[in-house]
């Protein structure tokens, strides 16, 4: 496995990985209705266009093995960890932890005091293990459906 910087041609694989991960891994904590609101299939083409731009502007890394993207994560220049998704078949192998370490180094190099994220129910314990503190529980509306997530922060030393 190799972790490298994002390139534009990664976007389609990333969006597919996002949909597959949400609809399998997050299914243990969210209803089908919530999953379809979070990652609706009819937005896939628009998401490819929008994410190509946002992933390009953010500090974005991908994990790849044998030419296949198996994970990705991105952070804004202000330390907001926007997305962190690992392919359903590569969970629990330390890939997400490697992304966290890389992005924390980036945050330090930017002289940021903290990083933040909006963690899903599924990801909350992962972020807690990496030193993130829950600030508040949130209800986010997507397509008229409420989804619970958690505003979390970590001080960067």
Q: Is residue 48 part of a domain?
A: yes
Across residues 83-90, what is the average pLDDT?
97
Q: Is residue 125 part of a domain?
A: no
What is the C-alpha to C-alpha distance for residues 64 and 9, in angstroms, rounded to an integer? 13
Q: What are the pLDDT digits (tens) for 127-145?
A: 999 999 999 999 989 889 9
Q: Is residue 147 part of a domain?
A: no
Please, what is the average pLDDT of the chain?
Answer: 96
Q: Which two tokens stand for residue 105?
A: 């180094």
0.75 exceeded by pTM: yes
Q: Is residue 36 part of a domain?
A: yes
Closest CA to 84 of 142, 33, 152, 136: 152
Binned at pLDDT 50, 70 and 90, residue 153 comes out as: very high
Q: What is the largest CA-CA distance in the chain?
A: 42
DSSP for residue 126: H
Q: Is residue 128 part of a domain?
A: no
Closest CA to 19 of 92, 76, 83: 83
Give the CATH number of the domain where residue 27 resides: 3.40.630.30
Q: Is residue 15 part of a domain?
A: yes
**Residue 157: its pLDDT value, please?**
80
What is the C-alpha to C-alpha distance for residues 69 and 89, in angstroms, rounded to an integer? 11
What is the C-alpha to C-alpha distance for residues 120 and 58, in angstroms, rounded to an integer? 20
Q: How many CA atoms lie within 13 A of 92 on its CB side?
A: 3
Instruction: Region of 124 please: left (phi>0), alpha (psi -120 to 50) or beta.
Output: alpha
């Amino acid at each position: 496995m190799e972790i490298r910087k994002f390139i534009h041609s990664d976007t389609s694989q990333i969006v597919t990985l996002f949909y597959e991960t949400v609809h399998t891994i997050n299914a243990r904590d969210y209803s089908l209705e919530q999953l379809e609101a979070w990652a609706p299939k009819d937005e896939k083409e628009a998401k490819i266009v929008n994410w190509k731009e946002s992933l390009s502007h953010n500090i974005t890394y991908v994990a790849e093995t044998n030419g296949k993207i198996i994970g990705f994560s991105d952070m804004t220049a202000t330390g907001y960890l926007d997305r962190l998704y690992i392919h359903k078949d590569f969970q629990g192998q330390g890939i997400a932890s490697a992304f966290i370490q890389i992005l924390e180094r980036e945050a330090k190099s930017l002289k940021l005091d903290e990083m933040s994220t909006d963690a899903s129910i599924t990801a909350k314990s992962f972020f807690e293990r990496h030193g993130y503190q829950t600030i508040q529980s949130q209800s986010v509306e997507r397509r008229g459906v409420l989804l619970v997530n958690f505003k979390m922060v970590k001080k960067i030393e």
